[in-house]
Amino acid sequence: MLLQRSLLFLSILCIAPALYAKDIDVTKYGAKGDSTTLNSAAIQKAIDDCSSAGGGKVIFPAGKYLSGTIVLKDNVTLFLHKNAVILGSINVEDYQNLDPFMDGLGTDVGWALLVAVDAKNIGIEGEGAIDGQGSKLKAAHILTDTRPEGQRWGRRPFLLRIVRCKNVTVKGVTLYYAAAWTSHYFQCSKVNIEKVKIVSRGVAHNDGIDIDGCQDVKIKDCDIDSGDDALCFKTTSSKMACRDIEVSGMRLRSGHGAIKMGTESMAPFENIKISDCYIYNTNNGGIKLLTVDGAHLRNVEISDIMMVEVKTPILVRLGSRLSVFRKGKDEQQPTGTLDNVVIRNVKAIASDSAQL
């Protein structure tokens, strides 16, 4: 009898999270999809309550929900119905920076529209979209920020930042017009990105997907059209490698590089497989592998790639820039290495202005 009671108790513990999981409609919390009401507080309250109750879905019906920074919490998935749009505010003061760092150009960055820090079991799914209104935000920003453009751009928010999170799913949604990087995943594990469409042009630094020191990552069947690098692997910290990553079925167009490792490159890039990708109308590199800040780039396989109208089909570089991106939290690394890198079955039709 005692054994039976113990087993029953354990069973109740196992199913308890599911009992508390629920779906929350943001409009029930006062959010208005009218494109003018600032909904940051209402959306955040819905997320907080959903997470506190054990998790579930925070649902956005059709409409345009204007917002500043939203913080995603444990066990919560944002679900955007068709024609539902989270619309980024064009006022930079509506954004927070929960994890500041410096990019490869020495600019302070990290503000974001949608951010998660040290969270688990989170997601963004559905047929809806997130629109950063990057060009409009820039136009408003430069009216009051008189610094040189190379310094002030970093104050503009990323569209999506996922920092030190575990079990992350981003699926089906469309990401539009970031004011800086479109999506940045930093030191995360167990990340699944699938059937995501990105259209992000109009301002500088519009990277598509940035995977920064993440492990156990799968990216599949995404369509990226970005002003800056489309699919970029970085290590802005020496503490965690980009490791155990699989990418397939990508369609990529970029104003710079389509598939890139670096230039931010302090920790290793290793055990990475990229296959079955179509690259087109790309103004710089189709495949760019750059370790310049100490990274060991090894056990990387890139295969079955088709390129059309690409200026530099393949570029590989080992250098010694040796930058540090998190001042006071990291230290300069020695020069890295390139080892066991395989690029095979690549067909490229270079543009007329191809670079040698």
- Give residue-wise pLDDT tens across range 297-320: 999 999 999 999 999 999 999 999
Q: For residue 206, with 0-12 CB atoms within 10 Å meaning exposed, 13-18 middle and 19 or more buried, which class applies?
A: buried
User: How many CA within 13 A on the CB side of residue 41?
Assistant: 3
Cβ–Cβ contacts within 10 Å for residue 340, how many?
Answer: 10
Confidence of residue 114 (pLDDT cuts 50, 70, 90): very high
Report the alpha-carbon distance of residue 196 to residue 122 in Å, rounded. 16
DSSP-H helix ranges across 31-82: 40-52
- pTM > 0.85: yes or no: yes
Amino acid (one-letter) located at 287? I
Amino acid (one-letter) located at 42? A
- Give residue-wise pLDDT tens across range 237-271: 999 999 999 999 999 999 999 999 999 999 999 99
Amino acid (one-letter) located at 257? G
Residue 354 has a pLDDT of 65
Report the alpha-carbon distance of residue 77 to residue 80 in Å, rounded. 10
Cβ atoms of 230 and 205 within 8 Å: the answer is: no
Confidence of residue 6 (pLDDT cuts 50, 70, 90): very low
Give the list of residues 6+ apart from residue 241 with CB closer than 8 angstroms, or none: 213, 215, 235, 267, 268, 269, 270
Q: For residue 142, with 0-12 CB atoms within 10 Å meaning exposed, 13-18 middle and 19 or more buried, which class applies?
A: middle
Mean pLDDT within 107-112: 94
